[in-house]
Structure 1
Amino acid sequence: MGNTFYFEWEVALMEWIQSWLGPVGTVIASLFSEMGEQLVCVAVLGFLYWCWEKEYGKYVGLNVLVGITLNPMIKNIFLRRRPYFDHAGIKCLKPVERGADIYDISAQGYSFPSGHSTNGVTLYTSLARYKKNRILMIIGIVLPLFVGISRFCVGVHYPTDVLFGWALGLIVIFLVPALQRAIKNRWLFYGLLVLIALPGWFYCRSNDYYTAFGILIGFILAVEFENRFVKFENTRNVLRCILRILLGVGVYFGLNTLLKLPLSKDFLDAATMASYAVRAARYCVIIFVTIGVYPFLFRLGDRIFKRKK
């Protein structure tokens, strides 16, 4: 299942790197790879949005979410198999879906373009574009670079997957803010983003697209809900920041577990339109509650801290 296409130099380069990588190199590459994981993106965005500066979090968050939605839409067009599927000399050192069969393409996903490389650019380079800080500029160049390189070191992407992943991330971080500046009506702008993402429902057959689509819708609804009804204040207090992030991550994972309970594992794992629709709806609810409703609790926390003072 899927398509195989590559340049000979890609395979030769990956085999050479893995022959020299060794256990320590594998650990280092895996750590850099983790920096492009969606969980890390969620943690960084949670800190920005809940603690540091809401508008900063919205700016970076929207770029990241558009990127993670467009990436699987492209993957499901090219259907490129991961390199270790077709080359015995390339090992899978860090599976995309831990615990699943590394040759299960529905679980491990397609290869082109690299989602971690796109995430690296949309997250870390967005941080630098918003603040235009020298340290953030260095982070915005170095981290996406190492995240991308790590993906073909661990054998799950060809170098061309990474190059196009970077390119997609750059397109997103310039295009999305430009559209937002050009379209003054927020709902018209949001509607355009959803319209761009909508075609994936007609052909995408991988969980990552439906997860991303649900998160994108949930995020849009959540920030508007918060802006109208919640209006929480950011804080630079370290203890409050830690509490907000820990509780927020708990709400996210708790809801994810809770919303799965009424559904069987077979249904959740099934590659059917019904299971995809439920997945999108589930993540929409999770993000809406985590981003839009959960900050209601910040007022209570602020009152408690003021009383203690």
Structure 2
Amino acid sequence: MNLVVGRSFYFDFEVAFMQWLQSVLGEKGAGIISHFSAFGEEMLLIGILGFIFWCYDKKYGIYIGINVMVGLVLNPLIKNIFWRRRPYFDHGAIKCFRPVEKDADLYDIAAQGFSFPSGHSTNSVTAYSSIAMYKKKKAFTVLAFVIPLLVGFSRVAVGVHYPTDVICGWLSGLLIVLLIPFIFSKVNEKNHWIVYIVIFLISCLGLFYCKTSDYFTSLGLMGGFFVSIEFEKKFVNFENTRNPLFCVTRIIGGFVIYFAVNTLLKLPFSKEFLDSGVFLAGLVRSIRYFLVSFAAIGLYPYVFRLEKKFRR
């Protein structure tokens, strides 16, 4: 278990600001504000992505999904270079009110992750800015500005990120939503699979130095998502729906598949091995999330064909 490792660097004003903020908010205030963090967490983003992809607009979902997947992988790639410790590691006056992994030791850096940059801040910018850029509606543009601000503020308030973590997280998310769609726009749609391979291979560089579980999770999700896009296009080609009942059943079914496959794939391994932090455990984690992602995005839409029987 990797306890209390990493590098400590910060500006004095960051520490002073965080201490002041937590003293003003108190534990209850910080606890309330911590709920804004949910807007940048993977489960909510996967739910939004699932609704858009399975129900609303497949191409829209792919556009957002690619950006989100790149953001999910890019963040730990950067974190594992800088190895910045979370604020509460080094400053006793700063409390952690929302740990990344509630069941793990607060100082287990393999589970809690590094601090720089903020993954929640990156995720919120990539997801909500992608929604705004694709739809180009004023309401979405406002949300794409407000939600990342709230998410970033909450990460500082709960003591898990310095302000500079949040700012750089926002900037990395902005870079993704500007660069990735631009790259795809310059490549013929039939050859997008080549871009997927290039992005995935670049992401695999983290196998040589990344130590945290979030990298291996994100790499597996990305690989499964990219393969699913091409698989669905060639072998499934499902239709979107605006029927409220079908939307609800598709989303519920998708989450059932996601959690069921994830749980089943854990069964052959002991909890001690899965939580050990060794490279082989990380590789198993990537393979597991690859299969989970492929099952939910690539295979699961086959089931949508059954809806035709209920339409008659």
**TM-score normalized with structure 2 length:** 0.96
How far apart are residue 94 of structure 1 and its match? 0.5
How far apart are residue 301 of structure 1 and its match? 2.2
In structure 2, C-alpha distance between the alignment counterparts of 1:26 and 1:17, rounded to whole Å: 9
Asked if 1:290 corresponds to 2:268, the answer is no
1:167 is aligned to 171
- What is the aligned counterpart of 1:35 among 3, 23, 39? 39
1:215 is aligned to 221
Q: Is the partner of 1:270 in helix, strand or coil?
A: coil
1:236 is aligned to 242
In structure 2, C-alpha distance between the alignment counterparts of 1:296 and 1:192, rounded to whole Å: 28
How far apart are residue 23 of structure 1 and its match? 4.6
Identity of matched residues, %:
53
2:254 is aligned to 248
Letter matched to residue 179 of structure 2:
L
Letter matched to residue 100 of structure 1:
A
- What is the aligned counterpart of 1:112 among 113, 116, 119? 116
1:257 is aligned to 263
After superposition, residues 1-309 of structure 1 pair within 5 angstroms as 1-184=5-188, 185-304=191-310, 306-307=311-312
How far apart are residue 295 of structure 1 and its match? 0.5
How far apart are residue 160 of structure 1 and its match? 0.3
In structure 2, C-alpha distance between the alignment counterparts of 1:50 and 1:253, rounded to whole Å: 17
What does the per-residue CA deviation read over 1:202-254, in whole Å, with 9 as the maximum and x for residues that have no partner?
Answer: 00011111110111110011111111111111111111111100110010001
Gaps of 5+ in 1: none
Change (3 A) 1:23 1:88: closer
The more displaced of 265-274 and 207-216 is: 265-274
What does the per-residue CA deviation read over 1:177-217, in whole Å, with 9 as the maximum and x for residues that have no partner?
Answer: 01111222212211221122121010001111111011111
In structure 1, C-alpha distance between the alignment counterparts of 2:218 and 2:86, rounded to whole Å: 21
Between the two proteins, the alignment pairs up a number of residues equal to 306
| Contact 2:128-2:143 at 8 Å conserved across structures | yes
| Contact 2:124-2:148 at 8 Å conserved across structures | yes
Change (3 A) 1:155 1:267: same
| Contact 2:125-2:148 at 8 Å conserved across structures | yes
What does the per-residue CA deviation read over 1:102-129, in whole Å, with 9 as the maximum and x for residues that have no partner?
Answer: 1111111100000000000011111001
In structure 1, C-alpha distance between the alignment counterparts of 2:263 and 2:241, rounded to whole Å: 29
| Contact 2:221-2:293 at 8 Å conserved across structures | yes
In structure 1, C-alpha distance between the alignment counterparts of 2:98 and 2:277, rounded to whole Å: 24
CA RMSD of aligned residues (A): 0.9
